[in-house]
Amino acid sequence: MKNIFVWCFVFVSFLTFSQDDNSWEDVLEKNIINKKFTFGKWDEKGNPQLDLTYLGVLKSKKESFKIMNSVFTFSMSGRVNCYILVFNLKNQFQGGYAVDEQLLPKKIEKNKLLFVLNDEKRTKCSASFDKGIPNELKLNVNNKELILAQFEKEK
């Protein structure tokens, strides 16, 4: 049930921002790495805001993927939904991972997503797309594998 709600929300927010101003496409076409683009302006009346940050390209043995962070702020309370979005090289949305805002990757380094965690024991960890889009986004933290999120494919 939670996954249905999450993907309905992603779809609605995609329609809200992409049909009017093609926000995802605009950011991907500009091809500026690690620059945050803001669409809309959240306020206490509930007007939404979408922040998109293009991180770059991750390469696997067979294909390459464009990665983008998405932070969608909405409702009068300022609720936030965050996703790691995955696109193919033709800028077609493939799906994404729903994550907490503090767990969004900071950049791509050495063909891996780099996460910087605010924790005394684990400051940096990474995730690889070497074998394609992983069904589960796993982080290696202190020699332990932790599941961060599951990939939800575009339908």
Q: What is the pLDDT of residues 82-126, one digit of tens each?
A: 999 999 999 999 999 999 888 899 999 999 998 887 665 555 677
Query: Do 58 and 65 form a contact (C-beta atoms < 8 A)?
Result: yes
Pairing of β 136-141 and β 124-128: unpaired
pLDDT in tens, the chain (155 residues): 555 444 444 444 444 444 345 888 999 999 999 999 999 998 888 789 999 999 999 999 899 999 999 999 888 777 889 999 999 999 999 999 999 888 899 999 999 998 887 665 555 677 888 889 999 988 777 777 888 899 999 87
Choose among 128, 136, 131: nearest CA to 152.
Answer: 136
The model scores a pTM over 0.85: no
